[in-house]
Amino acid sequence: MPIVKCPACGKETEYNDNEFRPFCSERCKLLDFGAWADEEYALPTQDAALTEEDLDKIEKALKEKGDL
């Protein structure tokens, strides 16, 4: 049987016949789910403000398409 490390605690656990895989236990699975729910695993983003030029280009494209 393949042995994997639990992504939450690092404990080695069997992969096959493990209802909580890849986690070692329900506790580790729920802790990971809670971290996702609390957005602890969010990917970094780069907020960029649109310039007047960008807005003009968008408005022009929408007018040409007939959506504005």
Total domains, the chain? 1
Six-digit token string for 28: 């580790």
Range(s) of the domain holding residue 9: 3-65
Give, for all 68 residues of the chain, the pLDDT tens digit.
799 999 999 999 999 999 999 999 999 999 999 999 998 888 877 777 888 998 999 999 999 887 65
Distance CA 9, CA 22 (A): 11
For residue 21, the domain's CATH number is 3.30.50.10
Phi (first) and psi of residue 3, to 5 degrees: -110, 130
What region, left, alpha or beta, does residue 62 occupy, with left being phi > 0 and alpha being psi -120 to 50 degrees? alpha
Q: How many CB atoms lie within 10 A of CB 24?
A: 21
Distance CA 28, CA 19 (A): 12
- pTM, full prediction: 0.57
